[in-house]
Amino acid sequence: MDNILISSAQLIVPGHPQNGNIVDILIEAGNISLIAPRIKPTNKQIHVIDGKGRIVSAGFFDLHANFGEPGLETKEDIITGTAAAAAGGYTGVAVYPNTNPPIHSRSEVALVVNSAKGNIVDVYPVGTISKRREGKELAELYDMQLAGAIAFSDGDHAVQQASLMGRALLYAKGFEGLVISFPEDESVAGGHQMNEGQMSTYLGMKGKPNLAESLMVSRDLFLAEYNDARIHFTSISTAESVDLIKKAKAKGLNVTCDVAAHNLVYTDEEVIGFDSNFKVNPPLRTKKDIKALLKGLKEGTIDAVVSQHTPHEVEYKNVEFHIAKEGILGLQTTLPFLIEAGFNADDIVRYLVVQPRQVVGKEIPTFEVGSEANLVLFDMNEKWMLNTNTNKSKSENSPVFGQELRGKVKVVVNHGQLVEIK
């Protein structure tokens, strides 16, 4: 990588003495060598990047993304997944075990870790809670953590047995492991197509009630309290979940949670056109739920925003709504969705940079002289279009494919590598 000078960008790094200031940043041999109001290039070998009107911060970190490797590489492999991540501003991604085979032993964890070595984006596998994600027998959690697993979840298979979830929480507590709950009671949610409410009734489709989520949130909060253990909830989507977690935090429970970016901007009214790209899990909810989610973020109940990036081949999406697979692309659209939801640059850094890393105990990249450069440069106002030219994923299942978006990542730097997004 050439020596780089990012000029006239607004630095947003909470706690940094230059936080909020317009600065120049000089990067030499992959490390930050100088931060100052004005840096004059000393030679022609420096690659100058115009940061005027743009934000520079530490790279984004995603707590919930799905790649297909191992076994489902036709959806997404590590190379294309990390390319999409970099284009979305991410320098770190936690990948879920929704693979075939699942990431349920040391072998799969090691495969993901080794396959991602040398990449500009750090890839952290999330191991399963149960063997084969079947919800019957506890997987070798500690063994997977030693191999590089960052946390444990059964992905989009919620753990239905309370006893198994309780054992996982207690066991992980012994080595400071993090158990992630995808809150869904299948006995209540089974057979759903969308959110249960006026719109599902109008469309004549089976609906998943908010109760399916809040029941599981409530159960797992009780289990975490009983075992005095830490727990993280991913992709919460209802007002009831926000309220339950808010009360649990006030009570002193060691609980964190995140929300998918698309659940902050879209409601179940989008389903009226039967576009399968709006079929996600948890489903798009109501305006009341979105209001509660946004308030939960601003009040600190919700800790992070995730992409919930879930690529699918065209044959799984270009079908009737009721048989289409759930999930959409998210890595390249999380920033535009947060801007659409009304968040400013400080909020975006909080929910995509700082707090996601705090949840999993990763150090927040510093902007000290001599430290390795791990950063993103993004524009809050630049408009662009997600299409076949700009999309870095193998898949195209996004409801905003072919639409103009506001908020664009321009540059990502990490591990001595540079990606400029045109």
* Domains contained in the chain, CATH given: 4-56+368-420 (2.30.40.10), 59-184+217-360 (3.20.20.140)
pTM equals 0.97
Strands 417-420 and 60-65: unpaired
Six-digit token string for 368: 């000290």
**DSSP string for 275-337:** -GGG--SSPP--HHHHHHHHHHHHHTSS-EEE--B----GGGTSS-GGGSPP-B--TTTHHHH
The residues that bridge with 55 in the sheet, in sequence order, are 10, 378
Q: Are 318 and 276 in contact (CB under 8 A)?
A: yes
Instruction: Give the per-residue pLDDT at 98.
Output: 97
The helix or strand, by DSSP H or E, that contains position 87, with its residue range, turns out to be: helix 78-87
pLDDT at 229 over 80: yes
* CA–CA distances in Å: residue 165 to residues 88, 180, 181, 184, 419: 33, 10, 9, 13, 41
Q: Please state the rounded mean pLDDT for residues 272-282.
A: 96
pLDDT tens, 56-104? 999 999 999 999 999 999 999 999 999 999 999 999 999 999 999 999 9
Share of the chain above pLDDT 90, in %: 97
Q: Three-class SS of residue 243?
A: helix
Residues 110-135 have a mean pLDDT of 97
pLDDT band at residue 2 under the 50/70/90 scheme: confident
| CA count, 13 A, side-chain hemisphere, 245 | 35
Q: Identify the residue with better confidence: 2 or 314.
A: 314
Tell me if residue 20 falls in helix, strand or coil: coil
pLDDT of residue 402: 95
Average pLDDT value for the chain: 97
- pLDDT tens digits for range 344-397: 999 999 999 999 999 999 999 999 999 999 999 999 999 999 999 999 999 999
pLDDT score at 44? 74
Give Cα separations from 131 to 19, 242, 380 (angstroms). 46, 30, 43
* 3-class SS of residue 342: coil
Tokens of 229: 């253990």
What pLDDT, in 10s, does the model give residues 13-34?
A: 999 999 999 999 999 999 999 9
Residue 269 is given by DSSP the state: G
Q: What is the mean pLDDT of residues 105-130?
A: 97
Mean pLDDT for 272-279 is 96
Contacts of 356 (CB under 8 A, 6+ apart): 60, 61, 62, 63, 258, 303, 304, 306
The span from the CA of 139 to the CA of 147, in Å, is: 14
Q: What is the pLDDT of residues 155-180, one digit of tens each?
A: 999 999 999 999 999 999 999 999 99
Check residue 45 and give its pLDDT.
86
pLDDT band at 192 (very low <50, low <70, confident <90, very high): confident
pLDDT band at residue 41 using 50, 70 and 90 as cut-offs: confident
pLDDT at 173: 97
